[in-house]
A and B are shown apart, each in its own frame.
Chain A
């Protein structure tokens, strides 16, 4: 490759405390206590947000407040604390419902994360109806979480997993999709945004085709929900999955949105307390939605923390977040492209603030270690998307992923640290 002749020259670095319009990043960063620390004597530049974001004080406080004042088990006590805990937990469900514009809280199932949401749909929705020879359609961009649950259900049922190819730029091939989807397709499962490359998949187009053929659609929204407004009714998908920890909320928490008509027909996938109405040894009646799918004591503080995270995101505004992150993406793409020997992997015109790249002659693992000593945190590896790496015939990439609380200065530090990497490895 010839980076020298094609690369744009790096523009003068942006002001250290960049502010985009009415957005005061310095003030926003004060909300995130973890960001104000030194790593190996250098200020932390956290550019690994696609793996997991950080939490604002308001989320940490909401969780502490819950444990300090309101904790008891939910849905079972008549005492005050149980009522408060139940109100907070169910209140969080309504916050989530509004945030993604679902019709009803019955459609919001609390789970451990995107991974569990997809597994729930695979086992409770897909498995009972799949016949040998039926097909599940995914894309070549998927995270392992949107591959392996389908492979398992295919093994269990004799169904076949089909994969829509991707282009060199990292886009899902729509023409190929149109030929792959057909009467045997029983489910389409697509990432909204690729975690490895940042590609924003125009899922509306894919969903429209699936709708016409009456193929149910699951969207893996783990990388989309934190960065742009998502409206599940406008999308008209059947299932939408996301994780709290990528959107400023606690770990171990996530959401499965499902259309009520489908969720009603699905059997529970785990049994236990909370998911039942009555139990006897001869007959058990299941609880209503959404509790039918929430066996056992749920992650109450997780739901409360997630609701606090959503309130924080809404206070900033999803449109503003999308705009700021887009500026960070453009700046990072431009500055990184100017580095000799650097190749960006994933160049779709419509991307989230993720830049995956490789450096000529330097393994991503070495980049990750050297950047860490400069205080710059990025992810290196296959990003749980080994098929994507295979497609590009690379073992791994280095990936910088930005959130609205990142600064242009941090991107400058990333670039400087990459130059330093070159020097260290000669």
Chain B
């Protein structure tokens, strides 16, 4: 179990300087995510252009893994169709949870930096919180915050 696998340079960098950090007003879709176990709270905001994600931002507070993951998410989904985003969600989910996941590094791009998380099962929820939150936003965000617990 190597710490450097979890806290890769990309993760440390995105935690220290989160990209697309802040609120997006008005947003076409947004949702709050909360992981009560560790207190992580995120809001994901999305602007749509037809079926495409025109812009995405997030704010909130959390651990390095959840902040970096959200930062990477906002970069990764911009310009993608909703179907492509769902597909990406599935790939990230597999990357985080399946030991033998064949990471399609080319398609995942920088998101592949999250592959170390699966060695730290207690932290998988940190990395997936923003993805579940994005899903909730795109599924016409319910009023209640989603929870990974």
Contacts and interface: CB of A to CB of B under 8 A. Distances in A.
Contacts of A78: none
Interface size class of B (residues with CB under 8 A): 20 to 34
B10 to A, nearest CB: 12
Interface stretch (B20-28, B36-44, B76-84, B100-108): B36-44
A185 B3 CA distance: 53
Contacts of B16: 425-426
A242 to B, nearest CB: 25
Interface in A130-174: none
Interface in B26-61: 36-41, 61
B61 A369 contact: no
Nearest to A380: B38
Q: How large is the interface on A (under 10, 10 to 19, 20 to 34, 35 or more residues)?
A: 20 to 34
Nearest to A394: B39
A364 B3 contact: no
A373 B39 contact: no
Nearest to A370: B3
B141 interface: no
| B6, B15, B16, B39, most chain A CB atoms within 10 A | B39
Contacts of A245: none
B89 interface: no
A380 B62 CA distance: 13
Nearest to B67: A363
Interface string A406-426: 000000000000000000111
Contacts of B62: 363, 365, 395
Interface string A2-20: 0000000000000000000
Interface in B1-18: 1, 3, 6-7, 12, 15-16
A340 interface: no
B131 to A, nearest CB: 18
B112 interface: no
A425 B16 CA distance: 8
A424 B39 contact: no
A4 to B, nearest CB: 20
Contact of A395 (B39, B65, B120): B39
A363 B63 CA distance: 5
Nearest to A367: B63
B144 interface: no
A366 B68 CA distance: 12
B122 interface: yes
A373 B63 contact: no
A390 to B, nearest CB: 10
A366 B61 contact: no
A369 B122 contact: yes
A377 to B, nearest CB: 13
Given A396-B39, A426-B12, A365 B7 contact: no
Contacts of A366: 7, 63-65
Interface string B106-126: 000000000000001011001
Contacts of B37: 381
Interface of B: 1, 3, 6-7, 12, 15-16, 36-41, 61-65, 120, 122-123, 126
Interface of A: 40, 362-366, 369-370, 373, 380-382, 386, 389, 394-396, 424-426
15 contacts: A362-B64, A363-B38, A363-B62, A364-B63, A365-B123, A369-B120, A382-B36, A386-B36, A394-B39, A395-B38, A395-B41, A395-B61, A395-B62, A424-B3, A426-B12
Given A363-B38, A395-B39, A395-B61, 17 more contacts: A363-B40, A363-B63, A364-B38, A364-B63, A365-B40, A365-B63, A365-B123, A366-B7, A366-B63, A366-B64, A373-B1, A373-B3, A381-B37, A396-B39, A424-B7, A425-B16, A426-B12
> What 9 A-B pairs come out closest when comparing CB atoms?
A395-B39, A363-B63, A365-B63, A396-B39, A365-B38, A366-B64, A373-B3, A366-B63, A424-B7
